[in-house]
Amino acid sequence: MTASEHDAAPATSNISVRRGDPLVVIENVQKHYGDFQALSDIDLTVNRGEVVVVIGPSGSGKSTLCRTINRLETITSGTISVDGKELPKEGKSLAALRADVGMVFQSFNLFAHLTILDNVTIGPIKVKGMKRAEAEKLARELLDRVGVAHQADKLPAQLSGGQQQRVAIARALAMKPKVMLFDEPTSALDPEMINEVLDVMVGLAQDGMTMIVVTHEMGFARKAADRVVFMADGRIVEEAAPDEFFTNAKSDRAKDFLSKLITH
């Protein structure tokens, strides 16, 4: 199914309505740090155009999962493929894979000494060999899309946290990724800046971007997610459509987690 066919489909979130063909396929993945097993028996398929929210207590393996998907971490066993290609161990194909998988972290990780514009152009120029003029045109379009076009010549420190995180999203998009990973993108932000970042993410989801989003923002999950995946102790314990998960979680672990989330 293409993105445009998907656009014509009803906008209901329902896990039985999958959007496209499998884009990220994770099969029987185990991940150890030394003796400690951080991921156990992970099976997860994310289809093209799908938005999956990953939720779970601190230490449950959410960041590890994201980091294995773009190979910032190796896995102990199992397979992860992106768009039909199994993750390479290293070398040129790894750089290509990283370009396919955009990542936005909790801490914005912009290059402090580069302007906003240069933060967005550096990937396309250095990794993809794009001409500077073309990269700048693309960067300005993306900065406009995330609402910070007028900040292009500033340094990151001159921007608010919310603006910096939106630049980080633009920087990831500049590589034209097939899937975007977000690891608690709003957790380091002051409350008044959370929505400006979530709004950009909702827009991306509506435009058909495939997204894996670690967040505890239930409003985002309800608005944008097709599926919620709940992790605990390195395992996927439960998955469901957002409304189903938030109103009718099945496992005790998820119920316990949600009760704490709501009372704080």
User: In the complex, which residues of this chain contact ligand ADP (CB under 6 A)?
Assistant: 33, 36, 38, 56, 58-64
Q: How far is the CB of 106 from Mg ion (least distance, A)?
A: 7
Residue of 44, 47, 43, 45 whose CA lies nearest to 9: 47
Query: Closer CB to Mg ion, residue 63 or residue 121?
Result: 63
64, interface contact from ligand ADP, Mg ion, none, CB < 5-8 Å by kind: ligand ADP
Indicate the burial class of 58 (C-beta count within 10 angstroms; 0-12, 13-18, 19 or more).
Answer: exposed
- Please report whether residue 63 would count as binding Mg ion according to CB under 5 A: yes
Distances (CA, A) of 140 to 11, 14, 83, 110, 197: 31, 36, 28, 16, 18
Angstrom distance (rounded) from CA 231 to CA 253? 9
- Please report whether residue 186 would count as binding Mg ion according to CB under 5 A: no
185, interface contact from Mg ion, ligand ADP, none, CB < 5-8 Å by kind: none
| 19 close to 194: Cβ distance less than 8 angstroms | no
Scanning 2-10, 54-62, 71-79, 166-174 for contacts with Mg ion by CB under 5 A, the matching segment is 54-62
59, interface contact from ligand ADP, Mg ion, none, CB < 5-8 Å by kind: ligand ADP
Count the neighbouring beta carbons within 10 Å of the beta carbon of residue 189: 21
Angstrom distance (rounded) from CA 208 to CA 11? 12
Q: Tokens for 141?
A: 């379009």
Q: Tokens for 178?
A: 């097939």
38, interface contact from Mg ion, ligand ADP, none, CB < 5-8 Å by kind: ligand ADP
49, interface contact from ligand ADP, Mg ion, none, CB < 5-8 Å by kind: none
Query: Closer CB to ligand ADP, residue 146 or residue 249?
Result: 249
CA angle 207, 174, 166 (to 5 degrees): 70
Angstrom distance (rounded) from CA 35 to CA 233? 14
61, interface contact from ligand ADP, Mg ion, none, CB < 5-8 Å by kind: ligand ADP
Query: Closer CB to ligand ADP, residue 4 or residue 58?
Result: 58
- Please report whether residue 64 would count as binding Mg ion according to CB under 5 A: no
Residue of 194, 210, 220, 224 whose CA lies nearest to 69: 210
Query: Closer CB to Mg ion, residue 62 or residue 227?
Result: 62
Give first-to-last CA distance, the chain, whole Å: 41
Q: How far is the CB of 55 from Mg ion (least distance, A)?
A: 11
Which residue of the chain is nearest Mg ion when measured via CB?
A: 63
Binding site for Mg ion (CB under 5 A): 62-63
